[in-house]
Amino acid sequence: MRAGNLGSKVVAPRLWKTELLMSGSSDFQEIEEIAGAGVFTKKLFRDDRGVLGKVFAESAFRSSGTRHHVSEVFWSQSRRDVLRGMHYQEGQDGQSKTVTVLLGEICDVLFDVRRASPTFGRHFSTILCEIDSRTISIPPGVAHGFKVLSETAITLYSVSTEYDPGLERGINSQTIGFEWPGGESIISERDLLLPPFSPAESNLLYEGQQ
């Protein structure tokens, strides 16, 4: 067998479809329940090799009027009924976030704790899964959490500022007035000890032009 010929199957080029996917604009829909939050939707490209999708495009954010500069990208893997949240970062380094599911299914929840926000004290929930192509955009000062509904889930995040443990804040997920789906929630001791929602202790991270 000659070098470079390892019996790999030759797949006919389909670049034109890929180019359409990578260059096309994302659909954007505002989340009415949370001021400044939104959902970006991008078509997935599927063929016999698998799936290709885009989770972030700066141009899509600019055209929607949403601001998000990517400083860090990270991911988590969680098993069924794991509940992570509700977290946000305080101060001038408050983070905007994007959330996308790469594997499995989650119930994703936002909770507005910005005192000056017109949607203060409201929550929004949606189901994110690997078969759709939605990315949730979360403005600074909005608490975020999710619960896994599938056997396992891999969730991808991007954040606008680097994580600072001194500025990290959170709210107990059982005190936001939301009934989490699924079985009995699996919550870390750290998240169980988060304080309940208190309007007096909410943050000021809201800018009316978001």
Tens of pLDDT, residue by residue over 167-176, are 889 999 999 9
Q: Select which of 68, 88, 157, 206 is catalytic.
A: 157
Higher-pLDDT residue of 40 and 7 is: 40
Tens of pLDDT, residue by residue over 49-72, are 888 877 776 666 666 566 677 889
Q: Select which of 68, 87, 88, 144 is catalytic.
A: 87
Task: Residue 98: count other Cβ atoms within 10 Å of its Cβ.
Answer: 21
Tokens of 1: 């067998």
Mean pLDDT value across residues 170-190: 96
74-83, 111-120, 198-207, range with the lowest pLDDT: 198-207
Mean pLDDT value across residues 20-26: 50
Mean pLDDT value across residues 189-197: 93
Calculate the alpha carbon distances from 208 to 35, 37, 96, 114, 116 in Å.
9, 13, 15, 11, 8
Q: Are the beta carbons of 52 and 134 closer than 8 angstroms?
A: no
Q: Per the confidence metrics, is the pTM higher than 0.85?
A: no
Report, in this order, helix, strand and coil percent for the chain, each rounded to 5.
10, 35, 50
87 classed as catalytic: yes
C-alpha span between 37 and 112 (Å, rounded): 10
C-alpha span between 26 and 24 (Å, rounded): 7
